Amino acid sequence: MDSHGQYEQRVVWAVVDTGIGPLLLAATREGLVNVVFHATDEVRDSALDRLASRLGSEPAEDPGSPLLTEAIRQVEAYFAGERRDFDLPLDWSLVSGFHREVLSELASGVPYGTVVGYGTLAGRVGRPEGAQAVGTAMGANPLPVVVPCHRVVERDGGIGGFGGGLEAKRRLLALEGVLPEPLF
pLDDT in tens, 24-47: 999 999 999 999 999 999 999 999
**Calpha distance 52→64 (Å, rounded):** 20
Spatial CB neighbours of 73, under 8 Å, sequence gap ≥ 6: none
Whether residue 3 has pLDDT greater than 70: no
Spatial CB neighbours of 169, under 8 Å, sequence gap ≥ 6: 150, 159, 160, 162
pLDDT in tens, 76-125: 999 999 999 999 999 999 999 999 999 999 999 999 999 999 999 999 99
> Are 141 and 103 spatial neighbours (Cβ–Cβ below 8 Å)?
yes
Does the active-site annotation cover 149? yes
Mean pLDDT within 6-18: 84
Global pTM value = 0.91
pLDDT of res. 155: 85
pLDDT band at 156 (very low <50, low <70, confident <90, very high): confident
Given 149, 152, 168, 173, which residue is catalytic? 149
pLDDT of res. 183: 57
Three-class HEC string of 58-77: CCEECCCCHHHHHHHHHHHH
**Calpha distance 31→2 (Å, rounded):** 21
Q: Percentage of the chain with pLDDT > 70?
A: 94
